[in-house]
Structure 1
């Protein structure tokens, strides 16, 4: 999978991967994971949270897990373990039901069984300005993206769809 460096107007670079024209974060083994997502088994009691990064998936995921487990206790595991584009197919398949997955992928990247098993899907949106601000802080803090630019430069990249998951 090609590694891509998009330059902002000041010359700072943002590192992403290009998966068949779709920009994804530089996660370890992301190509292998993305290629296997269509085969992840889906169960009818699954809940899928679908939203652009920084649209509140973590908060809604926590609430869904509490509702699914009938408990107001925080889930002891990591939300990352249920993130489709970051966790391998075997690990996702082994999670016990009911499962709440979260993803920032587009519908055509998701498991094929979502159309036959019909899990519940929650689509998340947020004010684009807020999303961009939180995405900037998130990407700036994660060294894998190798971005040292400022907000103004990031906004140009964000607006042009040159960040993970497009715009």
Structure 2
């Protein structure tokens, strides 16, 4: 993946990778290219809960509340939101290791999510 500088409306830049298979799609350099490229083929489980949102829209809060409700407890220990982010899989652990039911989250656009989302 080639690295390029992407500027925001204020002119500030950030180094991002351009996905070769999706030239309109940028990812931070710490994400693994082969994983991000294959997210649409990732199989979801029947009992997975998927949260999809824009960044800074309250996803972390909703994820925390969802975990508490699914666990039936008032405190869930040892689980970081990033470990359940689909695009960050393999950075903070593996989402495969999460106990069922999993509550996964993502900031990806709809067409980059696992195809099983629409089952």
Q: TM-score, normalised by structure 1?
A: 0.60
The number of residue pairs the alignment matches comes to 114
Q: Residue 85 in 1 paired to residue 113 in 2?
A: no
Q: Distance in 2 between matches of 1:9 and 1:111?
A: 31
Q: TM-score, normalised by structure 2?
A: 0.81
Q: Distance in 2 between matches of 1:11 and 1:42?
A: 39
Q: Residue 2 in 1 paired to residue 5 in 2?
A: no
Residue 60 of structure 2 corresponds to which residue in structure 1? 58
The Cα shift of 1:12 comes to 4.1
- Alpha-carbon distance change, 66 to 5 in structure 1, aligned in 2, over 3 angstroms: same
Higher relative contact order (CA closer than 8 Å, sequence separation 6+):
1
Does the 8 Å CA contact 2:51/2:59 hold for their aligned counterparts?
Answer: yes
Pair member with larger Rg: 1
SS at match of 2:64: helix
Structure 2 unaligned regions, length at least 5: none
Alpha-carbon RMSD: 2.1
Does the 8 Å CA contact 1:65/1:100 hold for their aligned counterparts?
Answer: yes
